[in-house]
Amino acid sequence: MISVKISEVKNFMAKLLTNSVFDHLLLREMDVQTFTGFQISGQLNDAFFSSEELEERGNQKYILWGEVRGIAYSMIKGSKTPLSLKIVFQLPPQYTEELVQKLAGRFRNEDIGGLYMNIRFEKGGLHIITGTAIKTFTMDKSLEQEWDHMVKEFLKKQEIAFEEET
């Protein structure tokens, strides 16, 4: 787990809300406090979809950020910044599987509950905290370390300035 402070909040928020940078991540939950509170559960409601649509989605249980980004933008846009913002993203299973393969057999896909990126904006500061959920006990931290490294490389590639916190 790492915690990073985003140095340029405006730049990050523009990439989050008006750009496709984060669109490939699953939205687990979102909480925005502006003139009122908005909460979004990223969990899909199967009853809303036809059987064909469900089949297309496969075993996807959460919505992609790209599918709700415009809604999130409309909740946040305006002349005032939100009082607070919390977003929990999860790396989709196909990318998690690629990471597991990179670790050459140290973990099995079914043992990983998720790889998370928690975004928090409060009192003018924006932080990202990574997290891993492993379903079995292990002393091996290689998955966590690789995920942390991936997140930092992703931020660098997207030209998002940050400082790692201790």
pLDDT tens digits along 148-159: 999 999 999 999
DSSP run (H or E) holding 147: helix 142-157
In tens, the pLDDT along 75-131 reads 998 888 999 999 999 999 999 998 888 887 778 888 899 999 999 999 999 999 999
d(CA 71, CA 92): 21
Q: What are residue 23's phi and psi, to 5 degrees?
A: -60, -25
Quick one: pLDDT at residue 59? 82
Helix (H/G/I), strand (E/B), else coil: 41? strand
Quick one: pLDDT at residue 109? 84
- Is pLDDT of 3 > 90? yes
Quick one: pLDDT at residue 153? 97
d(CA 3, CA 102): 23
Mean pLDDT of the region 67-72: 96
In tens, the pLDDT along 20-51 reads 999 999 999 999 999 999 999 999 999 998 99
Tokens of residue 21, six digits: 């940078």
Quick one: pLDDT at residue 20? 96
Q: What are residue 73's phi and psi, to 5 degrees?
A: -60, -45
d(CA 47, CA 32): 26
